[in-house]
Amino acid sequence: MSFIKKFIEQETISRRNFLLASAYGVSGAAAMRMFGPSPAMAASYSDPTVAWSYRNRTNPYWNEIVSGGEAFVESLGKDKSFLTHLINEGSSEKSLADVKALLAKTNGELALAIDTNDAPNARPVVESCVEAGAYVSTLWNKTDDLHPWDFGDNYVSHMSWSDEGPAEQTARILLDAIGGKGGVVHLGGIASNNPAIERLNGLKNALKDYPDVELLDAQPADWDTQKANQVMSGFITRYGDEISGVHCANDTIAYGVLEALRAEGMDIPIVSYDGNPQAVGLVAEGKILATVFTNPHWGGGITAALAYYAATGHFKPSEEPNEHREFNGPSIFVTPADAAEFKANYLDNVPTYDWKDFWGPSNGPIVYK
């Protein structure tokens, strides 16, 4: 069937070139736009509502994010129920509608931390917040032409993670472990999600230095354990013993892959991403070779903190340099050698962070390609 695949790939490459030209190329200058806010609106509030809007509670990653948000709220001397939760269930429409409802309810006295579920959704969310005079900090998803500094003070910051480098490093660990030859497969996240794309790119970058390793296949597993399980068993049928290593886009995918391998009695190296506690445990046991901890607890807390302290006037975002408005979160490697130590430092005892040290653990400005 791969002849069909080849044809299709050629088709999509030409399409992609076209898209890149139309969507990414032209935008930059046009981003200064009619929706630009008047600075007069940037009022500060003494006690704004603090809210976190995120995908769902069924994923440990988001739970970590939320725990950070709650820790921040507690640092203000409030109960953690002070934090308002908006859950979008994977629906951009709900994400936006909930934000608007909250803006209406709070009359704009709001410090919002949000992952907008899908990159295109970031613009309308930010624009409504700006219009209502609320302060918003985004995480993960936004389009490349949307920048906090174009919106004065109200769009406080955007934090993301540059996953390509770390994913490349885990890939190298994997490729070394299989002796630099053989075949690997990649199970990705929802294909259109930015981290999914970056993490696959990381693998591809690493493969350039390993000419004897073939990327047998890469398919999305939608961040989902059960789907990963099924895709992996399909891979095993198709490639069988040709698979000598597995590169997973995150930990939840790795769980499904591990179980598929277990069912077959196979034991091959796999690497993953996110550094969830269970995955760290598996790294310590040697079942996963490496994962990357992105410290979602801190990310969740600091995103809320940035929005809050901007809203209360503690600092003025527009006076900060651009690298303080768009920056990458930390990435920490976890390998079997340091898993136990890492677990003790970050998971068993969650460190108490200084939520006013906005950029301490951060990892450099976001670079657009």
Does position 38 bind another protein by CB under 8 A?
no
The per-residue DSSP string of 131-162 comes to HHT-EEEEES---TT--GGGGTTTEEEEEE--
Does position 47 bind another protein by CB under 8 A?
no
Does position 88 bind another protein by CB under 8 A?
yes
Does position 357 bind another protein by CB under 8 A?
no
Q: Which stretch binds another protein (CB under 8 A): 143-151, 175-183, 320-328, 357-365?
A: 143-151
CA angle 160, 71, 126 (to 5 degrees): 40
Q: Which stretch binds another protein (CB under 8 A): 71-79, 173-181, 207-215, 216-224?
A: 216-224
Number of neighbouring beta carbons within 10 Å of residue 205? 16
Please state the closest distance from residue 115 (CB atom) to another protein, in A.
Answer: 13
Dist CA 261 CA 259 (whole Å): 5
Query: Considering beta carbons, is residue 176 or 259 the nearer one to another protein?
Result: 259
Residue of 36, 240, 286, 360 that binds another protein (CB under 8 A) = 240
Query: Considering beta carbons, is residue 55 or 325 the nearer one to another protein?
Result: 55
Residue of 42, 48, 50, 62 that binds another protein (CB under 8 A) = 62
Tokens 């310590």 — which residue? 284
Structural tokens at position 216: 């047998």
Q: Which stretch binds another protein (CB under 8 A): 36-44, 51-59, 283-291, 355-363?
A: 51-59
Q: Where are the beta strands (DSSP E) in the chain?
A: 49-54, 84-87, 110-114, 135-139, 155-160, 182-188, 213-220, 243-248, 270-271, 291-293, 326-328, 332-334
Site for another protein in 100-119 (CB under 8 A): 100-102, 104-105, 107, 118-119
Does position 201 bind another protein by CB under 8 A?
no
User: What is the helix (H) or strand (E) element at residue 92, kind and residue range?
Assistant: helix 92-106
Query: Considering beta carbons, is residue 202 or 309 the nearer one to another protein?
Result: 202
Please state the closest distance from residue 277 (CB atom) to another protein, in A.
Answer: 10
In 3D space, the residue among 299, 298, 253 whose CA is nearest the CA of residue 279 turns out to be 253
Please state the closest distance from residue 314 (CB atom) to another protein, in A.
Answer: 25
Site for another protein in 261-300 (CB under 8 A): 262-264, 278
Total interface residues for another protein by CB under 8 A? 90
Number of neighbouring beta carbons within 10 Å of residue 308? 26
Phi, psi of 136 (to 5 degrees): -130, 140
